[in-house]
């Protein structure tokens, strides 16, 4: 397993290109299952999770070609001949459940392994299943698999999510495009990745309104065409790298960054003393002056503060002046980076879903362990400003969601290198 060695101390100056969104691409790819015509995705990120989704779609008989070094994905499900998504692939990546809705909508049958939990929480899929049942699906859970049937096809319905779920909104939105009649989704997720998916489905001939609001209305159609669609900018990669100059000092321009994707996050950066300037090419980030101030964070569904930036923000607040309170409201176990940051000298007190961070002058480098995707990058951010060397182990977590981290940060002056593991 590889590790990443970070030697802290220097400020960062330069520019970082932001890639296409992992969490948009992971729902856009299964959308190919809704049509027998080709779907081409551009601005695709080159990540381990994309490779896993590629393997899953290929296991179903779909064609996925990776072109231009992985930035373009050419997909076709014309020859889909297997309607079973096996546990050995699904367990690697929970987003695999997103093949269920499209497969069922177009093929009338699907067998998909339950994804199982992950480090940050149990992450059930009950809302995915309830939503599909609302559209007339007949589901049976057997030996760890969801057996889904839609005899006579899915039928439009009104379904209200009891709480916001990004994945369930995506699954039901995709299925509803081919259901007979009208579907109204209430308390739907509003994330930019949902908007991106809806815009791609509309290019494919779907009739969708209200995406980006809490109520999405879909008029089912007989079939969908092919399309070409650019994957939206990754707001989580964007927010992550905005924190690099905030933590070290210096000025970094995030190419392709869009302020509308990270508005709530930018409000907190501003409150803490970080300047964010919109430029022709993206967002320029630097400290306004001197030490940053403590701020309180409460994670919420979009447009609130994103849970996927909570760990990274905690790394920033470890050396801010004062006490910051971070409330993690989306996942039940998303503070695993805290004990690792404490190893670096941070002063953090975790109780349930709340972490109190009392800022210290400086962190000290230490050997630490990545536990999940966003925790891994928060430890790298902490290492950039820590005194001495930080070695982050188990960086396979990192490679799931961040493309070439050491290159992107290294280009701005960070002393960071990958140590090939056994
Ligand atoms: C998506 O996960 C993202 N993943 C996550 O990003 C992100 O943290 C999350 O949305 C919230 O924004 C992808 O898009 C691939 P949810 P998802 O359904 O869809 C519970 C990353 O780091 N829930 O909005 O799984 C669930 O357990 C990843 O890139 C149910 O109880 O999230 C969680 O507590 C991590 N039943 C809450 O709802 C369900 O049927 C929100 O989950 C579905 C979800």
Q: What is the pLDDT of residues 87-139, one digit of tens each?
A: 999 988 999 999 999 999 999 999 999 987 777 887 889 999 999 999 999 99
Nearest residue to 315 (alpha-carbon basis) of 397, 414, 247: 247
Q: What is the pLDDT of residues 133-185, one digit of tens each?
A: 999 999 999 999 999 999 899 999 999 999 999 999 999 999 999 999 999 99
More confident residue, 214 or 1: 214
Q: What is the pLDDT of residues 314-327, one digit of tens each?
A: 999 999 999 999 99
Average pLDDT, integer, range 252-278:
98
Nearest residue to 243 (alpha-carbon basis) of 272, 214, 202, 215: 272
Q: Whose CA is nearest to atom 1 of ligand 1?
A: 166
- For residue 120, the ligand 1 atom closest to its alpha carbon is 35
Pocket of ligand 1 (CB under 6 A): 23, 26, 94-95, 121, 123-128, 165-168, 307-308, 330-331, 373-374, 401
Share of the chain above pLDDT 70, in %: 100
Given a cut of 70, whether residue 422 has pLDDT beyond it is no
Q: What is the pLDDT of residues 37-81, one digit of tens each?
A: 999 999 999 999 999 999 999 999 999 999 999 999 999 999 999
- For residue 127, the ligand 1 atom closest to its alpha carbon is 40
Q: Whose CA is nearest to atom 6 of ligand 1?
A: 308
Longest dimension (CA), the chain: 65
Q: How confident is the model at residue 392 (pLDDT cuts 50, 70, 90)?
A: very high
Bridge partners, residue 285, by sequence: 252, 276
Q: What is the pLDDT of residues 17-44, one digit of tens each?
A: 999 999 999 999 999 999 999 999 999 9
Q: Whose CA is nearest to atom 4 of ligand 1?
A: 23
How many Å apart are CA 106 and CA 286, to the nearest integer? Answer: 49
Q: What is the pLDDT of residues 285-335, one digit of tens each?
A: 999 988 999 999 999 999 999 999 999 999 999 999 999 999 999 999 999
Cα(416) to centroid(ligand 1), Å: 31
- For residue 118, the ligand 1 atom closest to its alpha carbon is 35
Average pLDDT, integer, range 274-284:
98
Cα(7) to centroid(ligand 1), Å: 33
- For residue 331, the ligand 1 atom closest to its alpha carbon is 34
Cα(167) to centroid(ligand 1), Å: 6
Residue tagged active-site, from 118, 200, 266, 318: 118
- pLDDT at 119 (0 to 100): 79
- pLDDT at 1 (0 to 100): 87
Nearest residue to 27 (alpha-carbon basis) of 160, 192, 257, 261: 192
Cα(386) to centroid(ligand 1), Å: 31
- For residue 126, the ligand 1 atom closest to its alpha carbon is 40
Structure tokens given for 56: 């899953």
The per-residue DSSP string of 207-257 comes to EEE-BTBSEEEEE--S-B--EEEEPPB-HHHHHHHHHHHHHH-EEEEEET-
Share of the chain above pLDDT 90, in %: 95
Annotation marks residue 318 as catalytic = no
Contact 318, 341 (CB under 8 A): yes
Out of 30, 122, 123, 299, mutate this one to test ligand 1's pocket (max ligand atoms within 8 Å of CB): namely 123
| Sequence-ordered list of residues with C-beta below 8 angstroms from that of 357, at least 6 positions apart, any chain | 294, 314, 317, 318, 320, 323, 324, 325, 326, 346, 347, 348
Q: Whose CA is nearest to atom 41 of ligand 1?
A: 165
| Sequence-ordered list of residues with C-beta below 8 angstroms from that of 149, at least 6 positions apart, any chain | 104, 108, 109, 137, 138, 139
Q: Whose CA is nearest to atom 19 of ligand 1?
A: 167
Out of 97, 114, 165, 332, mutate this one to test ligand 1's pocket (max ligand atoms within 8 Å of CB): namely 165
Out of 22, 31, 97, 330, mutate this one to test ligand 1's pocket (max ligand atoms within 8 Å of CB): namely 330
Q: What is the pLDDT of residues 192-210, one digit of tens each?
A: 999 999 999 999 999 999 9
Cα(310) to centroid(ligand 1), Å: 14
Out of 167, 197, 304, mutate this one to test ligand 1's pocket (max ligand atoms within 8 Å of CB): namely 167
Q: Whose CA is nearest to atom 42 of ligand 1?
A: 165
Q: Is the pTM of this model over 0.75?
A: yes
Indicate the average pLDDT of the chain: 96
- For residue 373, the ligand 1 atom closest to its alpha carbon is 22
Torsion of CA 103, 191, 119, 343, to 10 degrees: 160
């Amino acid at each position: 397993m590889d590790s990443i060695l970070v030697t802290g101390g220097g400020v960062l100056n330069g520019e970082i290109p932001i890639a296409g969104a992992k969490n948009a691409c992971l729902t856009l790819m299964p959308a190919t299952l809704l049509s027998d015509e080709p779907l081409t995705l551009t601005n695709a990120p080159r990540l381990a999770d994309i490779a896993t989704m590629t393997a899953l779609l290929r296991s179903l008989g779909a064609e996925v070609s990776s072109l231009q070094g992985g930035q373009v994905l050419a997909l076709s499900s014309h020859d889909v001949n297997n309607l079973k998504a096996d546990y050995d692939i699904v367990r690697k990546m929970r987003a695999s459940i997103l093949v269920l809705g499209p497969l069922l909508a177009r093929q009338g049958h699907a067998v998909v392994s339950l994804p199982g939990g992950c480090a940050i929480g149990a992450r059930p899929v009950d809302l995915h299943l309830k939503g599909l049942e609302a559209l007339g699906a007949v589901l049976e859970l057997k030996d760890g698999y969801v057996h889904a049937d839609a005899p006579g096809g899915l039928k439009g319905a009104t379904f209200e999510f009891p709480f916001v779920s990004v994945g369930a909104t995506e699954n039901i939105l995709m299925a509803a495009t081919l259901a007979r009649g009208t579907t109204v989704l209430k308390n739907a997720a509003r994330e930019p990745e949902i908007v991106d998916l809806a815009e791609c489905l509309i290019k494919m001939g779907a009739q969708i309104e209200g995406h980006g609001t809490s109520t999405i209305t879909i008029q089912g159609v007989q079939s969908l065409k092919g399309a070409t669609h650019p994957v939206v900018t990754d707001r989580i990669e964007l927010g992550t790298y905005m924190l690099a100059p905030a933590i070290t000092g210096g000025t970094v321009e995030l190419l392709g960054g869009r302020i509308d994707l990270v508005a709530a996050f930018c409000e907190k950066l501003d409150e803490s003393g970080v300047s964010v300037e919109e430029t022709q090419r993206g967002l320029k980030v630097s400290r306004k002056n001197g030490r940053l101030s403590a701020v309180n964070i409460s994670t919420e569904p979009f447009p609130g503060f994103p849970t996927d930036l909570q760990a990274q923000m905690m790394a920033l607040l470890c050396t801010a002046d004062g006490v910051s309170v971070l409330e993690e409201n989306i996942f039940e176990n998303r503070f695993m980076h805290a004990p690792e940051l404490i190893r670096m000298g941070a002063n953090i007190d975790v109780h349930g879903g709340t972490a109190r961070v009392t800022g210290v002058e400086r962190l000290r480098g230490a050997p630490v362990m990545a536990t999940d995707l966003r925790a891994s990058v928060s430890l790298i951010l902490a290492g950039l400003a820590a005194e001495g060397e930080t070695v982050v182990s188990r960086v396979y977590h990192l490679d799931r969601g961040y493309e070439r981290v050491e290159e992107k940060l290294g280009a701005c002056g960070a002393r960071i290198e990958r140590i090939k593991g056994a």
